[in-house]
Structure 1
Amino acid sequence: MGSTSDRTEHEGPGRRDLIKRSAALGLITVPAMGFLSACATGGGGSSQAAPSGGAVGQKTDKNPLGVKEGAPLEAFIFKGGLGDQYAKDAEADYTSTYKAQVKHTGTQQVGPKLTPRFAGGNPPDVIDNSGADHLDMNKLSTQGQLQDLAALLDAASLDDPAKKVRDTIHPSTIEKGKHGDKFDVLYYAFTIYGTWYSQKLLDSKGWAYPKTLDEMVKLCGEIKKAGIAPWTYAGKFPYYVHFNLFAQIAKIGGMEKWIAIDNLEPGAWTSNDAVREVVEHYEELAAKGYFLEGSQGLTHIQSQTAWNKGKAVFIPNGSWVENESAPTTPQDFGMAVGALFDGTGDKMPHGTLRAEPSEPYIVSARGKNPVGGMELLRIMLSKKHAQNFATKVKSLTCVMDATEGMTLSPGLASASKVFKEAGDNLISLQLQEWYPALTDEKIGGLTGQLLVGELKAADWIKKTQAEADKVARDSSVTKFKRTA
């Protein structure tokens, strides 16, 4: 189904590069080191629920948004681990329905190419804002550049006119896509985050996926004795480890305490016992040599390749990994994902999973055809195109139950299984979406040091709190607040 956080990016659902960024016209986060293939997703001004300009046609039962027939549409799609064919397929249906030309651009450089266009008042209509060089959606929303998508939510769904679009997508999609009270980002994919592994490898060794942090440490000892590294990770981009580490904190400590972290509250890191327990767990893994040697120098692709080749058993990642690592995955690999581990006195039950919307789509409020941009998203939210997405990129969308009855690839089948088993025990985080420079660059740097034994858990916690406090005090950073 994202990603903040998801997610990424990994060249897939929305997550960002751990590298220094500089603001270009205040709209974009640009990696100074130029590694563009790593994953990324993530005051005043207003744009109304109905577009204030652009092409507008007559509303009918079959055209609930009022798309103007024949009016051109421009789509800018991040072409990373998910590719862009799924978007082209939806665009073909748009062209057929509205007899309109769709100008399509697939790129990994969304921000660099679009920053001058937003500044010049000539943005494309609909944008998949992913990748390491994504646009800063918080600033765009604050400046009134993003179309309010309330009209899309309230439009009739393509599959069942009796149902509104809002009733066909996972509720967290709406929560995740808000800036304040305005819903202006549609996270199209739905990412399952967790610990990924080869079921074939575990079965061949007689190993069972651990249920607790302690069981994981014990199993790592057995794995190491067998001559295999228990873990690897994208050391060039250590924020990948946060996909698990942050969610593990939320599971043990509870969402109320994690929300305090999302909200940059004083002492949110240092006063949370779950933070200490989880970070000390990672410190122990590092101290006992449970990470593949050289992981600190690997990109996300290199770490996934090492994992595919059986050099390591576990890797922290999101459900885009199946499609992204397909070129090096053995046919009988049996890709699978496990839920979060139990700790001490957990506030959330066994089976709790981090699963949340990812792959952010935005519509330009000042584009030439914002109504058409919303209509393209309505087409993509049909069961036909949700299933097409699952087939082509082995990932779920935010459309509920869209894959029912489908034959799924191993990784996607596993992700769907743990998602169903989790029920309502799902974790969704905002910190990486709202403050990517904090999580990916600052805290990511600390995590990198932790995993090679250069930083103790207590120092990681102290320094992470200090970095969060700096952002909280920085008046130039727009702040957001969540209550649930």
Structure 2
Amino acid sequence: MGSTSAHTNEGLGRRDLVKRSAALGLVTVPAMGFLSACATGGGGGDDKKSAAPTGEVTEKNPLGVKEGAALEAFIFKGGLGDQYAKDAEADYKATYKADVKHTGTQEIGPKLTPRFAGGTPPDVIDNSGANHLDMNRLSSQGQLQDLAALLDAASLDDPAKKIRDVIHPSTLEKGKHGDTFDVLYYAFTIYGTWYSQKLLDDKGWAYPKSFDEMLKLCAEIKKDGIAPWTYPGKYPYYVHFNLFAQIAKIGGMPAWIEIDNLEPNAWTKSDAVRQVVEFYEELAAKKYFLEGSQGLTHIQSQTAWTKNRAAFIPNGSWLENEAAPTTPKDFGMAVGALFDGSGDKMPNGSLRGEPSEPYIVAAKGKNPRGGMELLRIMLSKKHAQNFATKVKSLTCVMDATTGMSLSPGLASASEKFKAAGNNLITIQLQEWYPALTDDKIGGLTGQLLTGDLKAADWIKKTQAEADKVAKDSAVTKFKRTA
């Protein structure tokens, strides 16, 4: 789902956060430490405390936005660009006869950390990219607006339906800190193994359903002079988009939730973990990865793939937009569901699909009601379809693209999403503990994929890293039950 610009493609949301562990060290640790000293406590968005402007609550203005109240928006301008947000802002401006200040940037954290600390944050923020703000910390400090009022507001398309009724249920789950819903993940990303339908058709190959079928096909692909797989070795956590979901598919969501919750031995006791990690170990041992993949960025690996130097790549559905500059017109971009292993708890066709692209409203902004209203506008079918058209991405608005003519990759993602039904996998570990998944485990995965680390050692060391985080009192912990 990614790129409206060819050179600054950071992709979508947190999964593309290039070197984000380093970014977290720069932004969230010292900056949020400073925030801790300056931020007042208190819950999200008490209008009496913030003296935010309030208008009359009407059927057309359920959030009570004050006419003429200016709005400030900070939008991450990476793989998705920011035109889709400007389009929604134009509707806000026309409806409320108000000025809208828009900033498109890839430096969300560096630019906004001092503003949060000083009590002057913008109203609405697309908190994405490598240099993002630490939402866990901001939420615990009462800096994020409780968005319950937005969820209970009427949809622009059907006043009889509330916003909570028109967005995907997983959006409601993912956006919570404790019992408070204070993050709206606007996009909906489909993760999987991506391939060229044209390449497979031309060669007479079929997308494999199981690990065994994939390994057999890899041998055939390699004989044909093409590398079966590539990946961005500089950011090996991209492989986790598939690897983690594959564990959940085989072992079942309850077993994965133990991993999300940092339970003791959650990695080492799981046969699903063993099956999946041994599959990647075998890919490496049989040299089924494009030579030099370990040195590639996300853009370089995608370019190698669109040039048919490799048949498969693990990624999310921002890929189509991000790789657009190098993708041949007849490429037939498509995504495949997760593979079957042995004794799987979830059926073939199971898919990792989950909300992405986090939007927050500052509780201490000048116009939090206006910030929520902008999100309500974005959650209309008009703007969900505009988003799909402009950036080839699904949003969290259910059925918004029905009847639309979709690009190949988005059509494939949408088709797989519908086919999966309730067999959808959501992963919180990368969201809650990115320093663990992207830096620590990512480093181990990098070694696994070059053949420098055995599967058994990857599992032991990953468990040890998870245990360190579990025991670290400085890391805020989160729990999920479903």
Band of TM-score, shorter chain = over 0.9
Alpha-carbon distance in structure 2 between the residues aligned to 1:385 and 1:362 = 18
Matched residue of 1:14: which SS? helix
**Count of residues paired in the alignment:** 466
Alignment match of 1:185 (pick from 183, 186, 193)? 183
Alpha-carbon distance in structure 2 between the residues aligned to 1:322 and 1:104 = 26
Contact 2:228 2:310 in 1 (8 A): yes
- How far has the Cα of 1:17 moved from its partner? 2.8
Contact 1:49 1:151 in 2 (8 A): no
* Paired residues for 1:280-359 under 5 Å: 280-359=278-357
Alpha-carbon distance in structure 1 between the residues aligned to 2:350 and 2:46 = 35
State the one-letter code of the partner of 1:47.
G
- How far has the Cα of 1:52 moved from its partner? 4.5
- How far has the Cα of 1:57 moved from its partner? 1.1
Q: Is 1:22 the equivalent of 2:52?
A: no
Matched residue of 2:314: which SS? strand
- How far has the Cα of 1:122 moved from its partner? 0.7
State the one-letter code of the partner of 1:395.
S
Indicate the percent of aligned positions where both proteins have the same amino acid.
80
Alignment match of 1:132 (pick from 118, 130, 133)? 130
Alignment match of 2:468 (pick from 467, 470, 476)? 470
Q: 1:28 and 1:49, CA in 2 relative to 1: closer, same or farther beyond 3 A?
A: same
Corresponding position of 1:73: 71
- How far has the Cα of 1:22 moved from its partner? 1.4
Alpha-carbon distance in structure 1 between the residues aligned to 2:185 and 2:283 = 34
- How far has the Cα of 1:25 moved from its partner? 6.2
Alignment match of 2:270 (pick from 263, 269, 272)? 272
Corresponding position of 1:399: 397
Alpha-carbon distance in structure 2 between the residues aligned to 1:311 and 1:349 = 31
Contact 2:55 2:66 in 1 (8 A): yes
Matched residue of 2:159: which SS? coil
Task: Say which structure is richer in helix.
Answer: 2
Matched residue of 2:245: which SS? helix
State the one-letter code of the partner of 2:43.
S
Alpha-carbon distance in structure 2 between the residues aligned to 1:309 and 1:128 = 32
Contact 1:49 1:148 in 2 (8 A): no
Q: 1:412 and 1:28, CA in 2 relative to 1: closer, same or farther beyond 3 A?
A: farther
Alpha-carbon distance in structure 2 between the residues aligned to 1:116 and 1:429 = 31
Alpha-carbon distance in structure 2 between the residues aligned to 1:111 and 1:439 = 20
Alignment match of 2:43 (pick from 25, 41, 46)? 46
Alpha-carbon distance in structure 2 between the residues aligned to 1:268 and 1:474 = 17
Q: 1:126 and 1:51, CA in 2 relative to 1: closer, same or farther beyond 3 A?
A: farther
Q: 1:195 and 1:116, CA in 2 relative to 1: closer, same or farther beyond 3 A?
A: same
Alpha-carbon distance in structure 2 between the residues aligned to 1:83 and 1:259 = 33
Q: 1:442 and 1:159, CA in 2 relative to 1: closer, same or farther beyond 3 A?
A: same
Deviations 1:126-154 (A, max 9, x none): 00000011111100101110000000000
Alpha-carbon distance in structure 1 between the residues aligned to 2:46 and 2:225 = 59
Deviations 1:376-400 (A, max 9, x none): 0000000000000000000000000
Q: 1:45 and 1:277, CA in 2 relative to 1: closer, same or farther beyond 3 A?
A: farther
Contact 1:49 1:150 in 2 (8 A): no
Alpha-carbon distance in structure 2 between the residues aligned to 1:426 and 1:372 = 33
Deviations 1:334-363 (A, max 9, x none): 000000000000000110000000000000
Q: 1:404 and 1:25, CA in 2 relative to 1: closer, same or farther beyond 3 A?
A: closer
Alignment match of 2:55 (pick from 54, 57, 77)? 57
Contact 2:46 2:363 in 1 (8 A): no
Corresponding position of 1:203: 201
- How far has the Cα of 1:47 moved from its partner? 1.4
Corresponding position of 2:11: 11
Alpha-carbon distance in structure 1 between the residues aligned to 2:168 and 2:346 = 20
- How far has the Cα of 1:413 moved from its partner? 0.3
Matched residue of 2:73: which SS? strand
- How far has the Cα of 1:11 moved from its partner? 2.6
Deviations 1:375-429 (A, max 9, x none): 0000000000000000000000000000000000000000000001000000001
Deviations 1:56-79 (A, max 9, x none): 111111000000111110000001
Alpha-carbon distance in structure 2 between the residues aligned to 1:59 and 1:348 = 46
Contact 1:351 1:422 in 2 (8 A): yes
Show structure 1 runs of 5+ residues with no match. 3-8, 30-43
- How far has the Cα of 1:12 moved from its partner? 2.0
Corresponding position of 1:6: none
Corresponding position of 1:37: none
What is the root-mean-square deviation of aligned Cα atoms in Å? Answer: 1.7
- How far has the Cα of 1:49 moved from its partner? 7.4
Matched residue of 1:444: which SS? helix
Q: Is 1:412 the equivalent of 2:410?
A: yes
Give TM-score, length-normalised by structure 1.
Answer: 0.94
Contact 1:47 1:144 in 2 (8 A): yes
Show structure 2 runs of 5+ residues with no match. 3-8, 33-40
Contact 2:252 2:346 in 1 (8 A): yes
Contact 2:185 2:355 in 1 (8 A): yes
Contact 2:11 2:319 in 1 (8 A): no
Contact 1:11 1:79 in 2 (8 A): no
Q: 1:348 and 1:124, CA in 2 relative to 1: closer, same or farther beyond 3 A?
A: same
State the one-letter code of the partner of 1:228.
I
Matched residue of 2:14: which SS? coil
Q: 1:45 and 1:273, CA in 2 relative to 1: closer, same or farther beyond 3 A?
A: farther
